[in-house]
Amino acid sequence: MTVLDDIIVGVREDLQQRREALGDVEIRERALAAAPARDAFAALGGTPDGTGRDTVLRVISEVKRKSPSKGALAEIPEPAALAARYVEGGASVISVLTEQRRFGGSLADFDAVRAAVEIPLLRKDFTVDAYQIWEARAHGADLVLLIVAALDDATLASFLALTRELGMEALVETHTEEEVDRAVAAGARIIGVNVRNLKTLDVDRGNFARLAGRIPESAVIIAESGVRDAADVAEYGSHGADAILVGEALVKDNDPVGALRAFIGAGTAARPARTA
């Protein structure tokens, strides 16, 4: 069993408990009653046809207490306070881990951040059931994470369709050429390349450069994982990243505002002009 497989087993068990406490009908009612989702595609620099992009590198800043690869990262007693600092530093989107067992997250963390900031939020979890998408919208999420490695093509397409029906966007995460092609075929508008292999937890930063060129110019391209410093951000930017998703380097930094500004500056300076 891979690390990803093991995580998903726990995700399904925890999901079942939440579903028993709040059924499908109730969660859908709450989702439909929620305030409209914010435009995460635009917040990440996306435009309808891929033209007219500016050169600013965006950052998805993550509220992340621990990870399977690194263990405990930061206590984060007040996720809302951290989120406010992310906004101050220039984050375009905030990602909040809600997976409990391996990442120490919760929907309570998400709710606290949602109440504190107005920018789009990504509900970062391992989406394996449509219930989680309805649940994300009910809690005010603007994006959900869809990991191609965890979904077959039919499920990926149906989850993308549901996400859009609810007014949200999906960050569709890939790790291989085949997964990028599957994401593109499914119509993903925000495609992430995660340089951490979720099956082994190995990091290969060069994977972003190898895969980014397969993604259409019309899509927003996200570099995920592996950021240690501004030099890594510049490297991603030079290979076409429109945005980066970063957690560990920010939650462990005593000055996340300064770190964010440095990341945005370095990535923006390195980005090539978009031609589409």
User: Active-site residue numbers?
Assistant: 62, 64, 124, 173, 194, 224-225
Alpha-carbon distances, residue 20 vs 24, 32, 98, 162 (angstroms): 9, 20, 18, 22
Orientation of helix 107-116 relative to helix 79-89, angle to 10°: 50
- Nearest 5°: phi and psi at 32? -70, -20
The H helix count followed by the E strand count for the chain is 12, 10
| Nearest by Cα to 268 from 54, 52, 46, 47 | 54
Q: Tokens 């603007």 sit at which residue?
A: 142
In this structure, are residues 114 and 78 in contact, taking their beta carbons and an 8 Å threshold? no
Beta bridge partners of 10: none
Residue 27 identity (one-letter amino acid): I
Q: What is the rounded distance in angstroms from the CA atom of residue 213 to the CA atom of residue 274?
A: 12
Measured in whole angstroms, how far is the alpha carbon of residue 246 from the centre of its chain? 9
DSSP state of 34: S
Decide if 221 contacts 195 (C-beta within 8 A).
Answer: no
Say if residues 83 and 117 touch (Cβ distance below 8 Å).
Answer: yes
